[in-house]
A and B are shown apart, each in its own frame.
Chain A
Amino acid sequence: MWGYLLRRLFESALILLGITFVTFILLYLVPADPARQIAGRSATAETVANIRDQLGLNDPLFVQYWRYLAGLFQGDMGRSYLQRAEVASLIMARLPASLMLMVTAIVTELIIGLTIGVVAALRRNKPADHSLMIFSFVAISAPQFVIGILLLYVFAVQLGWFPIGGYGTWAHFVLPSVTLGLLGAGWYSRMMRSSMIEVLNQDLVRTARAKGLSKLRIVTRHVMPNAILPIIAMIGIDIGLFMSGIVVVESVFGWPGIGQLAWQAIQRVDIPVIMGVTMVSATAIVLGNLLADLVAPLIDPRIKTK
């Protein structure tokens, strides 16, 4: 187990190193000149050249990359080109909002997904099952910006139940969490349904029935705990989905998180910030996958850690 953990940690570190390299090259290829962006429209060619020199943009690619990597190991992600701030502090200021949104989204998708899955499995092949499954197919087929804008239109503009955007009270969390969590709810409901059906067909259910336990007790005490386990193992992987989702959801709802930070940085070619958010997201994804791989053998001992 410890050997496996060590090997996986080492692999994860290598993957992150690879990601710094790929991202760095991609951003090096961006045709826009950051020095010109900083200097502004009316700057002379000389000023632009000076700024290029100051930022070290004239150095060869590998010198620049090495400098970035050396900084990264000391926790220094560089300075934003356009805001007078360290990238690390910009990200730290916005990370809590994004993390809170992700946590509420996970809760939302579990509540919606598991409920639908359980009901559909118990009403298998009946009308309720069919309509719930159609719902989950729609949930995985709807782009988040469409869900977000429609929820805003119905529940914020028309009904006025929730604020139109922004951040602060619990009411601000409802619509963005549903928007971010609906995709996962769609997947979880289908997984929970087939997982429940699998457990319902097992001997333990027959034994419980033979003992004379009530149907409610069988479902809540025997079937659901067994059926939920494989789904818990998937939560780590969700982080990857969320890291893409927050760029859209935060821009629709004006949520002050790292997704919005990334989107603004991309529009203004603020390369150190783009780099920083990409690294934070990639780290979160790698850790999420690692978590999923470590939890899976604990839940199902048949999965071996080689």
Chain B
Amino acid sequence: MSVATDPAARPRKPSRARVVLGELLRRPRAAFGLIIIALMVFAAVFAPWIMPQDPFAQSFDGLDLMGAPLPPGGDYLLGTDLLGRDLASRLILGTRTSLIIGVVANGIAVLLGAGVGITAGYFGGWTAAILMRFTDLMMAFPALLLAIVLAAIFQPSLMIVALVIAMVNWVQMSRVIYTETRSLAEREFIQVQRAIGSGPIRILFKHLLPHLLSSIIVFGTLGISTTVLLEATLSYLGVGVQPPMPSWGNIIFENQTYFSTAPWLVFFPGLLIVLLALGFNLVGDALRDILDPTLKGRH
């Protein structure tokens, strides 16, 4: 039970991450997921350079003589939307929206969920009773309804949408972490730390957090997928990301009245939403197999 000093801990850390990455790449499904995520991140970061057209420009060339949107092909790779804007460019910029919300909203949800779970699990007693009753209450809330009401109350901006999603999504993480922390807190190595008078902060960061990291990573990854889907749904209902800022959900929202004559306006954004959520689900699922030794050999 020696406390690892920094120089000793250093060389192990990157090798552990590399081992996990290697394991991921060896599994075809997880590797496919990683490729999707990598491509999306690339598109989001380099959006201004790879967008073929201005995503906000409403050009007359973008509509046919009847004023209808153009199908894929020709000057516009994936066609145009109802306002004659280039769909491909809007989708690429929409990648940014999805990933920013995915990372920010899920980041907040992870911090909040893990924080509540650890606090309740470590201190137990009244703290746990109050926090976990509150979690139960949030579990019984119809999540989408709550998100819509919250989004309608506050004027939806990118930050507000992220916060609303975080408020809905932290619950599951907090329950998982609570259960794990509670069983860890009973274990001898934590009891020893308590007995020798280590403060809660020290126990938390030095001894509890390393054991909880696997679950946080797994549920954090799966949570991004939930977040991406919720953002798309809110934007589709018109209470999420607001036009003209493109999001895959609001592209479908803006164009759905035309879906029978211009199905590409629903098909391409829909495909991207599914792919991004699929990428994080595949990687998260593989991470669970790799990081959770109790599940090994069951599949």
Contacts and interface: CB of A to CB of B under 8 A. Distances in A.
Given A262-B145, A281-B145, A22 B140 contact: no
B259 interface: yes
Contacts of A278: 141-142, 145-146, 149
B67 interface: no
Interface stretch (A27-35, A98-106, A172-180): A27-35
B140 A19 contact: yes
Nearest to B33: A137
Interface string B115-159: 000000000000000000100110111111110111011000000
B296 interface: no
Contact of B141 (A157, A245, A282): A282
A30 B274 contact: no
B43 interface: no
A16 B140 CA distance: 8
B281 A137 contact: yes
User: Most chain-B CB neighbours within 10 Å: which of A144, A145, A251, A269?
Assistant: A145
Interface stretch (A63-71, A77-85, A146-154, A218-226): A146-154
A149 B252 contact: yes
Interface string B242-257: 0000000100100010
A263 B150 CA distance: 13
B182 interface: no
B281 A248 contact: no
B161 interface: no
A266 B149 contact: yes
Interface in A21-46: 22-23, 26-27, 29-31
Contacts of B259: 149, 152-153
Given A141-B278, A153-B263, A282 B140 contact: yes
B228 to A, nearest CB: 9
Contacts of B233: 143-145, 248
Nearest to B230: A143
Given A149-B256, A153-B263, A197-B298, A282 B149 contact: no
Given A15-B136, A137-B282, A153-B263, A145 B252 contact: yes
A138 B278 contact: yes
From DSSP, what is the main secondary structure of chain B's interface residues?
helix
B298 A198 contact: yes
Contacts of B256: 149
B273 A247 contact: no
Contacts of A251: 237
B145 A247 contact: yes
Contacts of B285: 137
6 shortest interchain CB distances as A-B pairs: A244-B144, A146-B270, A141-B277, A141-B278, A281-B142, A243-B142
7 contacts: A11-B136, A15-B140, A141-B278, A143-B233, A144-B233, A145-B252, A149-B256
Interface of B: 29, 133, 136-137, 139-146, 148-150, 152-153, 225, 229, 232-233, 236-237, 239, 249, 252, 256, 259-260, 263, 266-267, 270, 273-274, 277-278, 281-282, 285, 298-299
Interface of A: 11, 14-16, 18-19, 22-23, 26-27, 29-31, 133-134, 137-138, 140-146, 149-150, 152-153, 157, 194, 197-198, 240, 243-245, 247-248, 251, 262-263, 266, 269, 274, 277-278, 281-282, 285-286, 289
